[in-house]
Copies of this chain bind each other. A is one copy, B any other.
């Protein structure tokens, strides 16, 4: 008899966000689902972990028939706790999201959604983060649900390397304009930030982060291009950050 697949679900918007509920519905038919997610919004937390402070964890009954835990830490903490304290065997797959907002291109660096998935991939669990280019919690997530189901199913039925990690971003288009999934590379892009300078009631300055996304990449093989053209962008991601080209140059040129 084929063993049921164990799927760990997490996110960074917090366990009560609509996106994680949709993700659970999307992957529930594919295996046994366990949810371990932050008890509060954790957007922009990157690969932060909690050092020097203890963590709390509580089982919650908010998804029918699904074991679910909320955790006081970051998305990465959730994955670490899941592995060490909750799952009695390694998960077969980790899915993270569905994030309310984009995590394409350079956003991967800041994204708690993707960091949670990356943490699982470091552990040797094939993982994927899903993000929707729409920040509205009331948005229609039906295309996202199908995409998450299809990609998760494909991952569970393909013999992938254990450290496989996908960054999946779904465009904010209606069904007629939606074109399907496109395997892409990370676009060369960045945020141009300006801090909004304000004064508090005592006259002291404070600063709010605001910013504008800037794509500097004209390639038609990027995630940004895919999204602008109605495709879901699937970027395979690695976490060996060595720049081998620069390494070779320095080995030739630099003497210490």
Please state if A242 and B235 are interface contacts (CB–CB under 8 Å). yes
Please state if A185 and B118 are interface contacts (CB–CB under 8 Å). no
- Give the residues from 225 to 242 in chain A that come closer than 8 angstroms, CB to CB, to chain B: 234-242
Shortest CB distance A254–B (Å): 7
CA distance A58 to B228 in the complex (A): 41
Could you mark each residue 181-217 of chain A with 1 if its beta carbon is under 8 Å from any beta carbon of chain B, else 0? 1011110101001110110000011111100000000
CA distance A236 to B249 in the complex (A): 10
Whether A56 sits at the interface, judged by CB under 8 Å, is yes
Contacts of A239 in B (CB 8 A): 106, 109, 241
- Nearest chain B residue, comparing its CB with the CB of A167: B241
Contacts of A209 in B (CB 8 A): 49-51, 55, 77, 80
Given A207-B57, A237-B242, A246-B161: A47 in contact with B50 (beta carbons within 8 A): no
CA distance A46 to B55 in the complex (A): 18
Tally of this chain's copies: 2
CA distance A42 to B5 in the complex (A): 38
Please state if B85 and A197 are interface contacts (CB–CB under 8 Å). yes
- Nearest chain B residue, comparing its CB with the CB of A234: B250
Question: Which residue from B45, B190, B194, B204 sits with its C-beta under 8 Å from A123?
Answer: B190
Contacts of A154 in B (CB 8 A): 254, 256
CA distance A167 to B52 in the complex (A): 24
Contacts of A237 in B (CB 8 A): 241-243
Contacts of A106 in B (CB 8 A): 122, 239
Please state if B208 and A54 are interface contacts (CB–CB under 8 Å). yes
Shortest CB distance A149–B (Å): 12
CA distance A206 to B181 in the complex (A): 42
Besides A44-B48, A123-B190, A236-B243, 12 other CB < 8 A contacts? A41-B52, A43-B51, A46-B48, A46-B49, A47-B110, A54-B208, A56-B205, A161-B246, A186-B242, A234-B250, A237-B242, A239-B241
Could you name 12 residue pairs across A and B whose Cβ atoms are closer than 8 Å? A43-B52, A47-B110, A50-B209, A54-B198, A55-B195, A56-B207, A76-B110, A81-B195, A106-B239, A161-B246, A185-B244, A235-B241
Q: B-contacting residues of A (Cβ < 8 Å)?
A: 41, 43-52, 54-57, 74, 76-77, 80-81, 83-85, 106, 108-110, 115, 118, 122-123, 150, 154, 158, 161, 164-165, 167, 180-181, 183-186, 188, 190, 193-195, 197-198, 204-209, 234-244, 246-247, 250-251, 253-254, 256
